[in-house]
Amino acid sequence: MSNTANDASTLYPAFFKKWQTAGMLKLLGPKPTADQLAKVHALGPRPGKQAFIITMALRDCGVTPAQMVLVTGTKHLNKMGDLTTDAYLREVLMPQVAGMKCYKREITPKGAARIERFNKAQAATVAAGEAETVKAPKVKVTVTAKKRTSAVHKPKATADKLPTVSPVEPANGAGLVTGDVLSVDHEQHVTDLPENQL
């Protein structure tokens, strides 16, 4: 089901790295396969922690809450519950492991039909040359923000840096001499205007 170009297991390097630590294989059980991951993605969950947990639940041994936390750092069961409620997955009863519930799921015929439809749609998209690349899940990185120490300000115009304006000659030929100041009569009141302009 999976090919080397679109291998779903390459989306989870941080999770698969957990199995490389000494003694973790016994705690975590077998690694999920690329085929199991591809089936889970075909059922709808996007690549991420919940999709990986569902894939671990598809293993013959299922998955315990402790294994979920050891691999993904959390215990998300929302998507698994939704897929079980929608009858794409079926819950399989398992004995407790070290006093913890073991979550085991199987793909139902309805789920298999959905996976088949997804694979046909993907094949058609690839044949049309419009294959969309699957992005790796986002890993949360904690970054401390630095406080801005300086702000960019525009310099204020000062009297010595004001733009110079050249005088304009009026149309009647009377020119202004540079340095002359025009006086404006601010004392004209509204009552000084002719009656027809009121």
- What is the DSSP track for 149-190? -----PPPP-GGGSPP------TTSPPPPTT------TT--G
Is 88 a member of any domain? yes
87 Cβ contact list (under 8 Å, min separation 6): 108, 110, 111
Is 19 a member of any domain? yes
Q: CATH number for the domain including 23? A: 1.10.10
Is 31 a member of any domain? yes
**Across the 198 residues of the chain, what is the mean pLDDT of every consecutive 10-residue run?**
56 90 87 93 93 95 94 91 95 91 95 94 82 57 53 56 56 51 51 57
Is 197 a member of any domain? no
Is 147 a member of any domain? no
How many domains does the chain fold into?
Answer: 1
Phi-psi region of 54 (alpha: psi -120 to 50; beta: other; left: phi over 0): alpha
Is 25 a member of any domain? yes
Is 162 a member of any domain? no
Is 177 a member of any domain? no
What pLDDT score was predicted for residue 53? 95
Domain encompassing residue 27: 8-128
What pLDDT score was predicted for residue 43? 95
What pLDDT score was predicted for residue 159? 55
